[in-house]
């Protein structure tokens, strides 16, 4: 039995310990905001925070999440009350097809929360493990910077 905390709630998993964290989140816990892109740690679509740090959930077997804190895109806001970052993506057109968006949001959230730079270069470096195949990087970076500014106010 594996115990972990997901978005502040204590969870228990009793299946195969080598099941990938992304599959446990989506199939066992029905927390489906996190998407799978490549399944080989290249695209960052499946990024979640493990003890506050971005990791690819397709490369983490749930046995290595035992006793640890997981945060997914669902921890950011709700449709009724979006987080500033989510509002930034909405305002600046940061989402196109949407598959990379949960990973972009949670990675950017970790970057801003940890006091990372709000300039374009810092944001681009922070998001360099998150690929967008709609080629929407300009607006994604704009979204993060605009959200960072509104956070500061």
Partner 1 sequence: MRGDAKSMTVLSPRSDAEALKTYAKFPGAIPFAGGTDLMVAWNLGLLNGRAVLDLSRVAAWRKIQVVSDGVDLGSLTTHVQIQAHPILRKKFPLLVAACATVGAAQIQNRGTIGGNIANASPAGDTFPALAVYEATVRIAAPAGRRAVPIADIFAGVKRTTLKPGELIEAVFLPFVKTPARGVFRKVGTRAAQSISKTVFAGLIWTAKSGMVEEARLAFGSMAPTVRRLHAAEAFLRGRRLNDVAIAAAAELMSNDVSPIDDIRSTREYRLAASRNLLVAFLRGKGDK
Q: Which residues contact 147 (CB under 8 A, 6 or more apart)?
A: 84, 85, 87, 88, 89, 108, 112
25, 60, 105, 145: residue in contact with partner 1 (rule CB under 8 A) = 60
The DSSP annotation for 111-145 comes to HHHTT---SHHHHHHHTTT---TT--HHHHHHHHH
Residues 19-38 that bind partner 1 (CB under 8 A): 19-20, 23
Closer of 39 and 77 to partner 1 (Cβ): 39
Contact 34, 46 (CB under 8 A): yes
Residue carrying the six token digits 């006091």: 115
Contact 89, 143 (CB under 8 A): yes
Q: Is 135 in the site for partner 1 (CB under 8 A)?
A: no
Closer of 47 and 72 to partner 1 (Cβ): 47
Query: In the bound complex, what is the minimum distance in angstroms from residue 8's beta carbon to partner 1?
Result: 21
- Considering only the stretches 42-50, 74-82, 83-91, 143-151, report the one whose residues sit in contact with partner 1 under the rule CB under 8 A: 42-50
Q: Which residues bind partner 1 (CB under 8 A)?
A: 15-20, 23, 39-42, 44, 47, 50, 53-56, 58-61, 63-64, 107, 125-126, 128-131
């Amino acid at each position: 039995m594996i115990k972990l905390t997901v978005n502040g709630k204590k969870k228990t998993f009793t299946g195969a310990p080598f099941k990938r964290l992304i599959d446990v989140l989506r199939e066992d816990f029905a927390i489906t905001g996190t998407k799978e892109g490549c399944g080989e740690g290249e695209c960052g679509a499946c990024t979640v925070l493990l003890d506050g740090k971005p990791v690819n959930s397709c490369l983490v077997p749930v046995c290595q999440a035992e006793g640890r804190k997981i945060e997914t895109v669902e921890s950011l806001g709700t449709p009724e009350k979006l987080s500033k970052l989510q509002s930034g993506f909405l305002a600046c057109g940061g989402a196109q097809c949407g598959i990379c968006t949960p990973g972009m949001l949670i990675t950017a959230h970790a970057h801003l929360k940890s006091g990372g730079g709000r300039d374009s270069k810092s944001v681009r470096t922070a998001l360099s493990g998150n690929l967008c195949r709609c080629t929407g990087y300009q607006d994604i970076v704009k979204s993060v910077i605009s959200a960072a500014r509104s956070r500061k106010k």
